Each structure stands twice: as C-alpha cells, then as structure tokens.
Amino acid sequence: MTRRVAIAGVGISKFGELWEQSIRDITLEAGMLCIFDSGIRGGDIDAICIGNMSAGRFTGQEHLGALAADMGGLGNVPSYSVEAACASGGAAVRQAYMAIRSGEHDAMMVLGMEKMSDVTQTEAMNTMSVASDWEWEGLGGATFPALYAFMARRHMYEYGTTEEQLSLVTVKNHANAAHNPYAQFQRPVPLEVVMKSGFIADPLRVLHSSPISDGAAGLVMCSEEKARELTDTPVFIEASTQASDTLALHDRKSITRMDSVVISSREALKKAGLKIDDIGVIELHDSFTISEIMQMEDIGIAKKGEGGKAVEEGITQIGGNSPVNTSGGLKARGHPIGATGVAQIVELVYQLRGEAEGRQVEGVEKGMAVNIGGTGATSIVHILGR
C-alpha cells in the first residue's frame, strides 16, 4: 500500500561564491536547518539521500552519503548520493519520495549541494560540459553556453523571439531575488544593463546566464503520519515524475522543445489530477533565459513560440497568472548544480506555507518545480500542495 509523502522541514544555505566555507560546511548548515525547521530528532531519520553532480572534480571529495551521515552525527543510517547532472537535486528528492511512498523508509533527509568556486572558471566549465554528450559535443568545443545559444537562435528564427524578451527574464528574476535572503544576487538589474552585457555565445549574453555558485539545500521528508506528528503545516508531494531525451542536441526532432519536460510535466499534472492553470507558483530551470522561455511553452503556460511574448506581457511576474521563479531562479538565486533541484522545492515550501516574505504569491495552494539535466536530457517534475 502506497502512502502520501510530506515535507516537514526545509533548510538552505546562502548561495554565492563562499570562499570561506567548504562543502562540509554548507552541507552541514543546510542539514541542520532542515532538522531544526521540522523538529525531528536525529535518531528518527531513517536514511539520507544526496543530490550532487561532481564533487570529486570540483572539490576532490566523493562518497558524500557517508560524509553527510558522519558530519550530522546520524550514525549508521543508510546514506547514498545520486547524479543526474543539473537535475541531481531533483533526482534525490524523487528517490526519497519513492522510498517513503513504498514504505521502505518513514523519514529521510534529502540534501543537494555543490561547491563550484574552488576551481578555475575553465575547470568549472569543463566539469559542467561532461553533462552534455561529451563525444559528440564537448570534445568539439560545444560548451553549455554554445548549446543553449543554438537553441536560442533557432527559437528566434522559428518564432520571432527577441533579445529583449530573453533579457526580460533576467530582469524579472533579479527583481524576485532582491527579496530572497539566500540568493547570490540580491539586487535588481535594469533591462538596458542586461542588453549591454557582453556576449558569451551569440545571442546569449553574460546576464542571460546563471552564475558559478556554491550552496546547499535540505529537506526532511516523511510519511504523512510522521509529518503530522512534527508540524501543523506539512506540504505534500502530490506528484513526482521523470523523463529523458537524447543527450546530444543533434539527435532531437526539434531543439526548440524539450520533450522530456513536455512528457514529465504532463504526467505530473495527470497524477496530481490538476491542470496547469491550477498551479499557483512555478520554479523553472533557467540556467539560461532561453531555457525558462522554452519550459514555459513545454509545460503549457504559453503556447509554443509565445513564451517570449508571455514574459513581455508579465504573466510570469509575481501578481501575474503564472508566477515563475519567485526565488530568483538559477539566474539570480544561483546555480550550485546539485543543490538546485532541492532549492526549488525549498522555495515552493516557503510559498505554500506563506513564508516567502517580500516575494509571496497570495493564496497559493499548488506549486510545480521543473529540474532539468544538461540541455533537457533529463527532466524531473514535482508538484506540491499544502
């Protein structure tokens, strides 16, 4: 018999270039904060699941599950880490969801983390590039900015998407991050500044791209019965889905659509018994601003080719019909790769509990997080409700 799965507590470190903190420090911070938030005793945590892309290459440290159990003083609990490129955090949440729903565990800690700033920018870019098809893309010099530039240019060609529309995503997300105390960039950015920033891969500019970031985020996930013992405000995971697409862009029918997002989001809505219009707040994976526009179309809040226009019309702003990335998104909150998918869930929990001060969406009851890996080769979607 399957069980409902709830989130009883959340925690998140500051995101940014955290020169004075190690991967141990930020992971311990997020873990302790989610334990304190839930009120759970350490001895009641049955297992730990870690989301991380490449700590071995970024910091020299692997075996993160055992490290987290050791640091947290949680003794001999089973602990493990999962990897799905930029969707590693979402994968960790999904693994815990399935374990608790099946009855294997009653309460788990989920942690996502990445420490990216301890290597040079070139080393960081090379590490991130292994999440693409290395043989067909990476070895040929196609970095992620280049791959997303292909997608952006094709979207502009097919649908008339403009550079200003790409830039308005940045403006919106920085405005939201100004009210997020955990965000890497807590300041608004004017449109003209975005459009004058340097190119990294035409048509994408520096301020169309998420930064290199350090950070960690954590959840305490439980069965419904356990969650109700711990808190009066549990948030329930109403659907958890995952889909894949080709790793290389050249194998896709269209590079202006992420089929993995289309499939996983539709399946999540079906499992939750909801329509996209029922979702009051959405966290999308805006590693580049074109990614947010494409995902808006893929999940159905804009028709295909009209994502840029929808941004221009303000439907994704707080107060719009479909607020997107109230946290500031990857662009402004930051993108420590393994932490991102968990951080998206943290933001939705804050919103559903009415605790997103300064960026709160009024009356929100349902939230969706879309966490992708690479250029959309992996998509993991979660729908939350209070």
Average pLDDT over residues 63-70: 89
214-245 per-position pLDDT tens digit = 999 999 999 999 999 999 999 999 999 999 99
- State the Cα–Cα distance between residues 366 and 321, nearest whole angstrom: 13
Chain centre distance of CA 272 = 20
Q: Tokens 């999308």, residue?
A: 284
**Per-residue model confidence (pLDDT) at position 185:** 98
Q: How many angstroms separate the CA atoms of 139 and 386, rounded?
A: 46
User: What pLDDT score does 260 carry?
Assistant: 98
Report the C-alpha gap between 348 and 342 in whole angstroms: 10
Task: Quote the pTM value.
Answer: 0.97
pLDDT for position 2:
78
Quote the pLDDT of residue 1: 56
Do 5-120+213-235 and 132-210+237-385 share a fold? yes
In Å, what is the CA distance from 40 to each residue of 43, 78, 231, 376? 8, 17, 9, 36
| pLDDT for the residue numbered 382 | 98
Q: What proportions of the chain, in percent to the nearest 5, are helix, strand and coil?
A: 40, 20, 40
Q: How far apart are CA 382 and CA 242, in angstroms?
A: 9
Q: Is the pLDDT of residue 10 over 80?
A: yes
Examine the pLDDT at 50 and tell me if it is beyond 90: yes
- Please give the full DSSP string across 52-63, using - where no structure is assigned: -S-HHHHHS---
User: pLDDT of 181-224, one tens digit each?
Assistant: 999 999 999 999 999 999 999 999 999 999 999 999 999 999 99
Domain residue extents for the chain: 5-120+213-235, 132-210+237-385
The CATH classification of domain 132-210+237-385, taken from the options 1.20.1250.20, 3.40.50.720, 3.40.47.10, 3.50.50.60: 3.40.47.10
Average pLDDT over residues 39-44: 94
Please list the active-site residues: 86, 335
Tell me what the pLDDT averaged over the chain comes to: 96
Which pLDDT does position 283 carry in this prediction? 99
* CATH topology for the 5-120+213-235 domain: Peroxisomal Thiolase; Chain A, domain 1 (3.40.47)
User: What is the pLDDT at residue 13?
Assistant: 98
Task: Give residue 242's pLDDT.
Answer: 98
The pLDDT score that the predictor gives to residue 121 is 87
